[in-house]
Amino acid sequence: MQLANLSAVVTGGASGLGLACAQQLAARGVEVVIVDVSDEGGAQAALSLGGHVQFVRADVRDPAQVLAAIDAASERAPLRVLVHCAGVNLPVRPVERDGSAGSLEQFASIVQINLLGTFNCLRLAAARMAQNDPVDGDRGVCVLTSSIAAYEGQIGQIGYAASKAGVAGMTLVAARDLAKRQIRVCSIAPGIFDTPLLARVPDDIRSALGAAVPHPARLGAPAEFAQLALQILENPMLNGETIRLDGALRMAPR
């Protein structure tokens, strides 16, 4: 797909991986709608990126709010791209340290945001893309975000790992379902990336996390995630894949 005369919705676009994707798309002239629940962060990101970028506050679980963001993008140019980065990583265990049963509410909240939110954005964006005329053989492309935790979730990550495994599991099925509509779907499963979440971690722990990556032995850069997202958009044979982006890291139990 040529990144011209089209719009994109980028969820979680106010910071981290989503912001990097919005930056690179806008730099290519794509009309970008950033979706986030942070009013301040979203507005600041849109302002810093210039006229190609608009912020629409939306919770990815809310169909009406997501549809409003899709409408905003469609008003700027035909919607052909979804990059879905919104998500949370909250700790929960089957049995907590004090011996109590793990929080069902916490587990459900993670799954609601990470998995149901992904499907909600995917279904609404794909329905809009299906109305497009094909260009370069595609009506649209959806890039989702899984995680290497889908394969090697660590202690305390049962909700996060389950939800991200769900994203990986839906990717091929979604690609097959949407093939007849000429819409491609891929997911990226990042390893340890230098996002605002890790910015709050002490430097010695950040260094240890980076050193655990075989090569390159460092944290991933959000721009590298965005680079892969754009390569998925532009390469017509990338479809139905969940691509690990982790420097050959395989996570230990803790």
CATH number at residue 16: 3.40.50.720
CA atoms of 137 and 214, how far apart (whole Å): 38
Is 160 a residue of the active site? yes
Percent of the chain with pLDDT over 90: 94
List the Cα angle 158/42/76 in 5-degree steps: 115
DSSP state, residue 186:
E
For the purposes of burial, counting CB atoms within 10 Å of the CB of 214, is it exposed (0-12), middle (13-18) or buried (19 or more)?
A: exposed
Structure tokens at 167: 């994203």
Residues 46/33, Cβ–Cβ less than 8 Å:
no
Residues 254/155, Cβ–Cβ less than 8 Å:
yes
The answer to the question of residue 248 being in a domain is no
Instruction: Tell which phi-psi region holds residue 108, choosing left (phi > 0), alpha (psi between -120 and 50) or beta.
Output: alpha
For the purposes of burial, counting CB atoms within 10 Å of the CB of 137, is it exposed (0-12), middle (13-18) or buried (19 or more)?
A: exposed
Q: Could you read off the pLDDT of 8-30 as tens digits, one per residue?
A: 999 999 999 999 999 999 999 99
Q: What is the mean pLDDT of residues 225-254?
A: 97
Residues 153/251, Cβ–Cβ less than 8 Å:
yes
What average pLDDT does the chain have? 96
One-letter amino acid of 57 = R
Q: Could you read off the pLDDT of 35-46 as tens digits, one per residue?
A: 999 999 999 999
The answer to the question of residue 176 being in a domain is yes
Looking at the 3D structure of the chain, how many domains does it have?
A: 1
| Domain limits for position 22 | 7-243
Q: What is the mean pLDDT of residues 91-107?
A: 96
The answer to the question of residue 198 being in a domain is yes
Residues 188/145, Cβ–Cβ less than 8 Å:
yes
The answer to the question of residue 2 being in a domain is no
Say which of 55, 107, 160, 225 is annotated catalytic. 160
The answer to the question of residue 251 being in a domain is no
The answer to the question of residue 250 being in a domain is no
Residue 203 has pLDDT above 90, yes or no: no
The answer to the question of residue 119 being in a domain is yes
The reply to whether omega before 216 is within 30° of 0 (cis) is: yes
Position 199 confidence tier, pLDDT thresholds 50, 70, 90: confident
Residue 4 has pLDDT above 80, yes or no: yes
pLDDT at 198: 81
CA atoms of 249 and 215, how far apart (whole Å): 8
Residue 127 has pLDDT above 90, yes or no: yes
Position 204 confidence tier, pLDDT thresholds 50, 70, 90: confident
CA 61 to chain centre: 14
Residue 163 has pLDDT above 80, yes or no: yes
Position 206 confidence tier, pLDDT thresholds 50, 70, 90: confident
DSSP state, residue 195:
-
